[in-house]
Amino acid sequence: MSGIQPQPGIMDIDLYVGGTSTVEGVKDVTKLSSNENPLGCSDVVKDAHAKTGLNLHRYPSTEHEELRAAIGEVHGLDPARIICGVGSDEVLQFITHAYAGVGDEIVYPQHGFSMYPILANMVGATPVVAVERERVVDVDAILAACTEKTKIVFVANPANPTGTMIGGNDMARLADGLPEGCILVHDGAYTEYVQGFDGGAGLVEARSNVVMTRTFSKIYGLGGLRVGWGYASQEIIDVLNRVRQPFNLSPIQTALAEAAVRDQEWVTKCRAENARLRSWLAEALMEIGVPSDTSCTNFILARFADQAEAEACDDYLKSQGLIVRRVTGYGLPNCLRITVGDEPSCRRVAHAIGQFKGGAR
Ligand SMILES: *Cc1c(COP(=O)(O)O)cnc(C)c1O
């Protein structure tokens, strides 16, 4: 060959595996594998979409000022310290790109989001895993895993795929205990599912080493739109803006995200509906011998006896047109992650798991 070689770490990346949405030979499929909002997005966003008579021959603004102003207004944050990205995944990438490289370490919890090792390898940094305690983030284990080479710690709170959450005091203790020059990324993809939770915004205000990330993909029902944002000190935001492509978001993305964030009524409604169906589903599964931890998100991590039972149940669900998520890659081979769907979907998946437990294969 020509001696063309990718940068260190690139070939160590295991490609991200998304939730599937089809089953061969099954027509009526219910997708509960990607933590999408079963109610979709709000009518306000649909109207905004229909009305976008946008000038698509013009380049968009590079600053996203209107979207940042709206986010700042709604959440009581300083718009100058907000950065917007193509999903919060892109914001996580800005942080990794700007602050870690070859020879550095990036620490994340044992069952942490699968983008974290991908991002570490993308910049040639070493991914380091800190054990969890019973599927809950263990702050002491993270602190013990940190060295002077650690540049970034990623923690999703609430976490995916466990659905569990740690308290604000623990997060603050983590931020305070990190080595000099290390950033704590508080990944808040599921913040809105926890009533009254600020997603780590208070931590960002009080400490210069914390970055909060948020997304429109989950409770806002806009996974396809691809918009997320981050909040941090002015110093960090100024750095992140240097690695951001100037035209990373189209005017359609920013306009619809702005309409979405201004409609908090929709968020409130979806949070309540999710909480109601989540309790129902968790209890229904518990009754048929499938326990789960208390979830703070829009999914349930259902635990089975072992990997064989989890896989057999997944196969049975597929045969019934129900797609849930295997999480063996997250070190949870005996579990299946089930998104809280609408009421018929919840009933359908609980019924099918009941049939499976009762001997149907
Ligand atoms: C879904 C998710 C994200 C981000 O998704 P985007 O669509 O890129 O905003 C980030 N972190 C966690 C833990 C998630 O589950």
Ligand 1 centre to CA of 215 (Å) is 7
Q: Which two tokens stand for residue 254?
A: 């920013």
Residue 359: is it exposed, middle or buried by C-beta count within 10 angstroms (0-12/13-18/19+)?
A: exposed
**DSSP 8-class letter at 26:** B
pLDDT tens for 179-231 read: 999 999 999 999 999 999 999 999 999 999 999 999 999 999 999 999 999 99
Backbone angle region of 338, left / alpha / beta, with phi > 0 → left and psi within -120 to 50 → alpha? beta
Q: What is the mean pLDDT of residues 68-90?
A: 98
**What is the pTM assigned to this prediction?**
0.94
Domains 10-41+265-357 and 58-263 equal at CATH topology level? no
299-303, strands of its sheet edge to edge: 299-303, 335-339, 325-326
Look at 351 and 359; give whichever has higher pLDDT.
351
pLDDT (tens digit, 9 = 90+) per residue, 300-326?
A: 999 999 999 999 999 999 999 999 999
List the chain domain ranges: 10-41+265-357, 58-263
Task: Return the higher-pLDDT residue of 85 and 361.
Answer: 85
Residue 1 has a pLDDT of 61
Q: Which atom of ligand 1 has the smallest separation from the CA of 223?
A: 7
Nearest atom of ligand 1 to the alpha carbon of 113: 13
Structure-token match 């409130």, residue found: 268
Ligand 1 pocket, residues with Cβ under 6 angstroms: 87-89, 113, 156, 160, 187, 189, 215, 217-218, 223, 228
Q: Write the Ramachandran bin of 239: left for phi over 0, alpha for psi from -120 to 50, otherwise beta.
A: alpha
275 burial (CB, 10 Å; 0-12 / 13-18 / 19+) is middle
The b-or-e profile of 174-195 (16+ CB within 10 A means b, else e) is bbeebeeebbbbbbbbbbbbbe
Q: Please, are residues 118 and 97 in contact by the beta-carbon 8 Å criterion? A: no
Q: Which CATH architecture has domain 58-263?
A: 3-Layer(aba) Sandwich (3.40)
**Torsion sign over Cα 87, 17, 347, 332:** negative
Q: Which of 16, 35, 84, 88 to mutate to test the pocket of ligand 1 (most atoms within 8 A of CB)?
A: 88
What homologous superfamily does CATH list for 10-41+265-357? Aspartate Aminotransferase, domain 1 (3.90.1150.10)
Q: What is the mean pLDDT of residues 85-95?
A: 98
Judged by DSSP in three states, 107 sits in: strand
DSSP 128-195: EEE--BTTB--HHHHHHH--TTEEEEEEESS-TTT-----HHHHHHHHHHSPTT-EEEEE-TTGGGST
